[in-house]
Amino acid sequence: MKVTRRDLIAGAASAVALGRTARAQTPPDSTKVRGPGPRAVGDRAATARLQRIVRGQAVSSTPHQDLMGIITPSDLHFERHHAGVPAIAPESYSLLIHGMVERPTIFTLADLKRFPSHSQIHFLECSGNLGRTAGPETTPGMLAGLTSTSEWTGVRLSTLLREVGVRAEARWLLAEGADAAVLTRSVPIEKALDDALIAYGQNGEALRPEQGYPARLFLPGWEGNASVKWLRRLEVSDAPFMTREETSKYTEPFANGTSRQFSFRMDARSLITAPAFPNRLERGWVEITGIAWTGAGRIARVDISTDGGATWAPAQLQDPVLPLAHTRFRHMWQWTGGEAVIMSRAVDETGYVQPTKAELLAQRGPGTATYHLNPITGWVVQADGRVVYKEESWA
């Protein structure tokens, strides 16, 4: 039997409760007392209050160690912003599309919602999603919590581009946000005409402010920074704009002395979410579970190793296995005591195999930026059952 994540959360929650009020007596028998009635808005169970992991002024991570399935609750979707979360009134929101188009047009939020709406379940991952200096006491969310999966609803960008009449010379478009960084990225027209969405919905309701309310660009499978939030303007052009976020940032130095630019696609990755720090195992059967995802389509396979990568066995993939979305995997393992290192490795439908740290270092060099680092990572089960992150040196 393992100590469940829920036990730990319940423990933490009651510790918090203790600090605020005197601990309640043994709860009354629930079959003898009528409970409270309906409420306009529900809440999480008092013993399952979840939180993002906030780091500094611009980042919070999804606590993957506390989650199940593939959908990230909207209030736990990771955040990364460059000048805070702007407050934009929906009635004053508008999106301007101009440049190499026949009809420069302004769409209100109500206009966007009049077009055919598409809903697509996709992950969104920040391209800098690895704590390279993480120590043993690192949770899955601290290590790689800058990826989340939601059902996104909106209008296909291709529909809007048809509406405004894109000229034949068009090759790129500039997407610009209405935040205080007025963040801009250049996007190839092929992606815009393929599966790009102007999203206004997230998991069945309006976008969260942190995810771009009232409307954002959403580029399935691509690095999060390019999916510009609080979208106010799209300018169609014949060349990229070379904004700061696609030159100074979001470019990756390589060992061959170059820097890779416009590296949009997120490659395949997996993350064991349990057992992981801070779980503590007891001997017996343990479910190893986690998420895998790829920007190149569907996850084909996830392999699990319980001997530090010497041997691998395929995990079971939980349906649905959707393209460009988190996929849940599980693998039952009998822990008989003694130290063990558990690892996961994703393979996607194009045959791409999640690389090792050594393979990435050989290509990229120890000084490279954190962007697009998707190494196989592991967790050490210590002899006493404590689970810690398998620390890695990148220097």
Partner 1 sequence: MTRVSRRIALAALLLTAAGQAFAQPARYGIGRAATPAEIAALDIDVRPDGTGLPAGSGSSSAGATIYASKCAQCHGATGKEGPNDVLVGRVPGDGFPFAADPKVPHTIGNYWPHATTVFDYIRRAMPTTAPGSLSNDEVYALTAFLLHANGIIDAGAVMDKASLPKVAMPARKYFVPDTRKQAAERPKP
CA gyration radius, the chain: 23
Pick from partner 1, ligand HEC, none: which does 312 bind, CB < 5 to 8 A by kind? none
Q: C-beta of 11: minimal distance to ligand HEC in Å? A: 38
Q: Is the peptide bond before 278 cis (omega within 30 degrees of 0)?
A: yes
- Using the contact rule CB under 8 A, the part of the chain among 134-142, 144-152, 211-219, 292-300 near partner 1 is 292-300
- What is the three-class DSSP state of 338? coil
Among 21, 248, 256, 334, binds ligand HEC (CB under 6 A): 248
**Alpha carbons 386 and 3: distance in angstroms, whole number:** 10
Question: Among residues 51 and 261, whose Cβ is nearest to partner 1?
Answer: 261
Contact in structure between 127 and 260 (CB atoms under 8 Å)? no
- The pattern of x and - marking residues 250 through 289 that bind partner 1 according to CB under 8 A reads -x-xxxxxxxxxxxxx-x----------------------
Contact in structure between 146 and 224 (CB atoms under 8 Å)? yes
**What are the residues whose beta carbons fall under 8 Å from the beta carbon of 112, sequence distance 6 or more?**
95, 154, 155, 198, 200, 215
* Chain residues 158-187 in contact with ligand HEC, contact rule CB under 6 A: 181
- Using the contact rule CB under 6 A, the part of the chain among 118-126, 150-158, 214-222, 243-251 near ligand HEC is 243-251
- Using the contact rule CB under 6 A, the part of the chain among 46-54, 66-74, 111-119, 241-249 near ligand HEC is 241-249
Among 13, 296, 341, 388, binds partner 1 (CB under 8 A): 296
**Alpha carbons 177 and 31: distance in angstroms, whole number:** 53
Question: Among residues 6 and 244, whose Cβ is nearest to ligand HEC?
Answer: 244
Question: Among residues 82 and 98, whose Cβ is nearest to ligand HEC?
Answer: 82
Phi-psi category of residue 102: left, alpha or beta, with phi > 0 → left and psi -120 to 50 → alpha: alpha
* Chain residues 347-386 in contact with partner 1, contact rule CB under 8 A: 347, 349-352, 364-369
* Chain residues 216-245 in contact with partner 1, contact rule CB under 8 A: 232-233, 235, 237, 239, 241-244
Element (H, E) at 159: helix 157-164
**Alpha carbons 4 and 138: distance in angstroms, whole number:** 17
Q: C-beta of 189: minimal distance to partner 1 in Å? A: 5
- The pattern of x and - marking residues 318 through 347 that bind partner 1 according to CB under 8 A reads -----------------------------x
From the number of C-beta atoms within 10 Å of its C-beta (0-12, 13-18, 19+), residue 113 rates as middle
* Chain residues 176-195 in contact with partner 1, contact rule CB under 8 A: 176, 180-184, 189-190, 193
Q: Is the peptide bond before 214 cis (omega within 30 degrees of 0)?
A: yes
Reported as half-sphere exposure (CB side, CA atoms, 13 A), residue 285 has a value of: 4
Among 49, 82, 132, 280, binds ligand HEC (CB under 6 A): 82
From the number of C-beta atoms within 10 Å of its C-beta (0-12, 13-18, 19+), residue 296 rates as middle
**Alpha carbons 109 and 221: distance in angstroms, whole number:** 25
Pick from ligand HEC, partner 1, none: which does 382 bind, CB < 5 to 8 A by kind? none
Nearest to 225 by CA among 78, 90, 351: 78
Pick from partner 1, ligand HEC, none: which does 139 bind, CB < 5 to 8 A by kind? none
Note whether 86 binds ligand HEC by CB under 6 A.
Answer: no
Rounded to the nearest angstrom, the gap between the alpha carbon of residue 216 and the centroid of all alpha carbons in its chain is 16
Nearest to 140 by CA among 78, 75, 50, 63: 63
**Alpha carbons 134 and 171: distance in angstroms, whole number:** 41
Q: C-beta of 365: minimal distance to ligand HEC in Å? A: 19
Pick from partner 1, ligand HEC, none: which does 14 bind, CB < 5 to 8 A by kind? none
Residue 68 DSSP code: -
- The pattern of x and - marking residues 76 through 105 that bind partner 1 according to CB under 8 A reads ------xx------------xxx----xxx
**Alpha carbons 126 and 122: distance in angstroms, whole number:** 13
Q: C-beta of 222: minimal distance to ligand HEC in Å? A: 19
Among 137, 162, 313, 358, binds partner 1 (CB under 8 A): 162
Q: Which residues bind ligand HEC (CB under 6 A)?
A: 82, 181, 244, 248-249
